Structure 1
Amino acid sequence: MKIASFEDLLAAAAAQDQPQRLLFAFSMAESAPGHRGADAPQTLIPVMCADKAPEDVASFGQLAGEAAEIGAQWDMVMVSALSGAAGAQPPAGTVEQALRRMLRAIQDGQLDWMLAFDRQGRLLRPEPA
């Protein structure tokens, strides 16, 4: 299934044979160190993360509302998924490791394996190949 929207992401996760955890990293875009102005290269700084089962996310609006309750500022949310096995959700330790890997990848600018959505829920980058 081609993912072109947040709703497509939820549908694709729900359609998988094994239970999924969606991993979310809310990030701020900042000018790269040593650069200023509108044309300055941007770097992403993760400000908070969460993991949820697809059935616990009704819409992007709900997810953004939960993030707003926490109060952190963010410009985009990077998303990846983690598959369970034998009909069970991935273990908590595996989820924690995957979130740490995702945060490191964002800090290192290695974003090609994640989806990115803006604050309105629009897909910013096409689905990774």
Structure 2
Amino acid sequence: MISSYSDLIKATKSEHEPQRLLFVFCRAELPDNASAYEKAAFEQGEGGALTPVICVDKTPVEVPEFSLLVEESRSTGQSWDVVFVAAMSGRAGTPPSSDEAQQPMTMMVESIRLGHVSNYLPLDKSGIAISLG
């Protein structure tokens, strides 16, 4: 059971093939046409729509600690509330390249935009897995 970023990194080390991690950072936003109930819930930290604002792919070796990923995200100037993570397996001992990650990353961003997030690990700003829904 993966309950944190550190658990995820440990899990990648136990995989037979090297991994590449896909990260989509999202900001929670309130739709323009939100009802009074939705606005009140959003003020309490619930509801809203998740809008992808940053996406990046890295090997686990490049970001062994969540704090490194957070620091890199700060340099973009984009605020975010949750990051979704997916993993890609390599072949013959070689992790997938950034080029190979582009199509899956695009599909991941579109899936998140449509609200289909069950295939991804959502983490909060401290790297702890969170439950959405």
Unaligned ranges ≥5, structure 1? none
Q: Partners of 1:81 and 1:59 in 2: how far apart?
A: 16
State the one-letter code of the partner of 1:111. Answer: V
Q: Partners of 2:56 and 2:101 in 1: how far apart?
A: 10
Partner of 1:73: 79
8 A Cα contact 2:57 2:98, kept in partner: no
State the one-letter code of the partner of 1:95. Answer: A
Identity %: 35
Matched, 1:111 2:113: no
SS of 2:61's partner is helix
8 A Cα contact 1:115 1:125, kept in partner: no
SS of 1:38's partner is helix
Which among 44, 52, 58 is matched to residue 50 of structure 2? 44
Partner of 1:35: 34
Specify whether residues 4 and 38 from structure 1 end up closer, same or farther in structure 2 by C-alpha distance, changes over 3 A only. Answer: same
TM-align CA RMSD: 1.6
Q: Partners of 1:125 and 1:56 in 2: how far apart?
A: 26
Matched, 1:24 2:23: yes
Partner of 1:12: 11
Larger-Rg structure: 2
State the one-letter code of the partner of 1:17. Answer: H
SS of 1:72's partner is coil
Matched, 1:95 2:101: yes
Unaligned ranges ≥5, structure 2? none
